[in-house]
Amino acid sequence: MQTTQIVQKSQNRPILAAYSKIGGKSSPSKKKGKETAIRQLNKAKKDSARLNSGATLYTHNNTFLNPEYELGRKSLSFESCLVHDKSHFFRYENGQKLIIKTLPKWLTNLQAWKRDQESGEDNMVGLLQTDEFKASNYRKIKALDKFCNYYQPKYQEKEVTMLFLTFTRANYAKKDWKSMVNHIKETFKRIEIPVLGFVWTSEVSLDYGIHWHYHMCIAIDRVNWKKIPKQLKFESVWGQRTQIDFVKKNIKHYMAKYFAKHNARVEGFRSYGKSSKYI
């Protein structure tokens, strides 16, 4: 049985080639192998449809180390509570430091393909260079879009309330971020207003020194608070300045500028996250 798979070609040849489930990496006798082959077939169909529409298709060419990466590494002091199983990320010349990446470590070249609408031949028309920061920002924007598309209509129908939170100076916080997120969810649960969904991003600002902080948006059932309860300020728990505000009008307006920034990264820490499901 023959299906198709996208493969890379260095010459101007069709990029859709025959793929055998029997001869491929996945065994048809295994469910996982079948699912992999199905995904590959579906992707090939989507890619072919994209080429047929006249759009450009990008495929991976090569990935390589950025020769300037080491020049962009900076150190940042941090509190001992942030040491965990990945503490080897924080070792520096003189003791423990957080490592800030101001330049991407990995660069990637993508092949750009176009389909000749008359002959049906797929031609490589050039190379596009991208990097791990741009790829990460793309995934972050997709996560934000999914959150906004789900909750913005509910917000407009006055079914939910959305809150925008900021947590500053993360390197001097009393809690690591994962523990803080769990604490936030438990706090809302204790006041009988469970978190329906959330999305967050880490931001490293290089203006006037290095500043690491988090931004988070939470969706809860509609409330009619005149002001936000004191126990939701979280400043004493975080140990640094925090801020919480009601979202007004459009959540994307609040979050997009933080998600889209091509900024620095803290090595060993995720740059964004979301709840596992939206309620």
Span 173-216, pLDDT tens digits? 999 999 999 999 999 999 999 999 999 999 998 888 888 999 99
Q: Which two tokens stand for residue 60?
A: 């991976």
* Average pLDDT of the chain, as a whole number: 82
Q: Which two tokens stand for residue 113?
A: 């393909």
Domain containing 18 equals 1-54
Instruction: Inform me whether the pLDDT recorded for 256 exceeds 80.
Output: no
Residue 116 lies in a domain: no
The domain tally of the chain equals 2
Burial class from Cβ neighbours inside 10 Å (0-12, 13-18, 19+) for residue 82 reads buried
54, 74, 99 - which closes a domain: 54
Mean pLDDT, range 144-154, rounded to an integer? 93
CA–CA gap between residue 232 and residue 185 (Å, rounded): 10
Residue 215 lies in a domain: yes
Q: List CB contacts of 107: < 8 A, sequence separation 6 or more.
A: 63, 64, 65, 66, 129, 130, 131
Residue 176 lies in a domain: yes
Residue 254 lies in a domain: yes
Instruction: Inform me whether the pLDDT recorded for 9 exceeds 90.
Output: no
Of 16-25, 124-133, 167-176, 214-223, which gets the smallest average pLDDT?
A: 16-25
Higher pLDDT, 205 or 243: 243
Where do we find the tokens 């500053």?
168
pLDDT digits (tens, 9 = 90+) for 63-119: 999 999 999 999 887 765 555 444 444 444 444 678 999 999 999 999 999 999 888
This prediction's pTM: 0.76
54, 70, 86 - which closes a domain: 54
SS3 content of the chain, % helix, strand, coil (to 5): 35, 35, 35
Q: Which two tokens stand for residue 148?
A: 């906004």
User: Does 152 lie in the same domain as 258?
Assistant: yes
Question: Most distant CA pair in the chain: distance in Å?
Answer: 68
37, 54, 71 - which closes a domain: 54
Residue of 136, 149, 123 whose CA lies nearest to 252: 149
Where do we find the tokens 């996208």?
6
User: Does 38 lie in the same domain as 152?
Assistant: no
- Is residue 218 within 8 A of residue 275, CB to CB? The reply is no
Q: Which two tokens stand for residue 78?
A: 């941090």
User: Does 154 lie in the same domain as 267?
Assistant: yes
Measure the CA dihedral 77/215/261/100, to 10°. Answer: 10
Residue 89 lies in a domain: no
Instruction: Inform me whether the pLDDT recorded for 2 exceeds 90.
Output: no
Q: Which CATH number belongs to the domain containing residue 214 in this structure?
A: 3.30.70.1910
Q: List CB contacts of 86: < 8 A, sequence separation 6 or more.
A: 268
| pLDDT given at position 82 | 54
Residue 29 lies in a domain: yes
Instruction: Inform me whether the pLDDT recorded for 55 exceeds 50.
Output: yes
| pLDDT given at position 34 | 62
DSSP state of 109: E
Higher pLDDT, 4 or 158: 158
Of 15-24, 36-45, 150-159, 227-236, which gets the smallest average pLDDT?
A: 15-24
30 pLDDT tier (thresholds 50, 70, 90): low
| pLDDT given at position 274 | 94
Instruction: Inform me whether the pLDDT recorded for 33 exceeds 80.
Output: no
Residue 102 lies in a domain: no
Residue 109 lies in a domain: no
pLDDT digits (tens, 9 = 90+) for 105-148: 999 999 999 999 888 899 999 999 999 999 988 898 899 999 99
